[in-house]
Structure 1
Amino acid sequence: MITNFRRGLMAAALAFAVLAPASPAQADDVTLVGVTARSNRQKSDQDPATWMPMPSVHCRYLGEWVATKQRWGLAVDPAERKALLRYAADCPNARITYDPAA
């Protein structure tokens, strides 16, 4: 039992280290969306080229994804760009607003 508990703590610490923001300013830029554990496991660290949530929230997900990329000046790879454009066609009224990071 103690071994499993320790293993769980080490896994949590490793996950935190991997998910830690790249800069202190990014630590304050958090968008939380409640999801099931199954959905969270499915998404993992995939981008829209390889994973999308259920269709009813595509537009919100894409908007938040693009706003975060824009805010922090993050790159978009060719496969991700293609997926973003494909899914965005279903969101004609979407507006993306963001404040550039300082």
Structure 2
Amino acid sequence: MDEDADGCNTRQEVLLAEAVESPTVNGRCTITGGVWHSYYDDTDVPNARGLDIDHLVPLAEAWDSGASGWSALERQRYANDLGNARALVAVSARENRSKADQDPREWRPTDPGALCRYIEEWTVVKSRWGLSADPGEAAALTTLADGCHDARITYTPAR
């Protein structure tokens, strides 16, 4: 979707926001060139086609954590959340596909240095949207967060 009617859809907006080397944008938000950093695997990606836009908290996980009770409009807002840079992230397609719909109990970024950021962002997205954590997920988050001494959980509620 193109929420701000500037010709760029959500994927393109995330790509433009997260580029570490700015791409060229032509016509109807056609993106060429540029470089992105996939923090999950600490990899620079020189082609937007090698990236997926990851719902940090996957859509299926959101559904199971409370989104099933939302209206279609709320679910659309969640799926296209550009109001917090942590909700949607440009990552290598390989990492995103290995993650699929798993939570931090089942999947963690390949780069060990990304773990605290990932746990912080997971917690922010869940909190921002008022989503629950099942007991296994909560236990994993608590255990993993023990090693994250500088994490700061700040957010503006989305709902």
Query: TM-score normalized by structure 1?
Result: 0.71
Higher helix share: 1
Report the counterpart of residue 62 of structure 1 in structure 2.
119
Q: Does 1:95 align with 2:152?
A: yes
Aligned-residue offset at 1:26: 2.1
**SS of the residue 1:56 aligns to:** helix
Change (3 A) 1:36 1:96: same
Give runs of ≥4 in structure 1 deviating > 4 Å. Answer: 18-22
Change (3 A) 1:32 1:49: same
Give unpaired runs (5+ residues) of structure 1: 1-17
Could you tell me how far apart the structure 1 residues matched to 2:59 and 2:104 are? 18
Report the counterpart of residue 42 of structure 1 in structure 2.
98
Aligned-residue offset at 1:28: 4.5
Aligned-residue offset at 1:19: 4.6
Change (3 A) 1:27 1:41: closer
Aligned-residue offset at 1:35: 2.1
**Aligned residue among 70, 81, 100 for 1:29:** 81
Asked if 1 retains the 8 angstrom alpha-carbon contact of 2:59 and 2:101, the reply is no
Report the counterpart of residue 83 of structure 1 in structure 2.
140
Higher relative contact order (CA 8 A, sep 6+): 1
Aligned-residue offset at 1:62: 0.8
Could you tell me how far apart the structure 2 residues matched to 1:27 and 1:40 are? 16
**SS of the residue 2:88 aligns to:** coil
Aligned pairs, number: 85
Query: TM-score normalized by structure 2?
Result: 0.47
Could you tell me how far apart the structure 2 residues matched to 1:49 and 1:27 are? 22
Could you tell me how far apart the structure 1 residues matched to 2:129 and 2:99 are? 21
Could you tell me how far apart the structure 2 residues matched to 1:86 and 1:27 are? 28
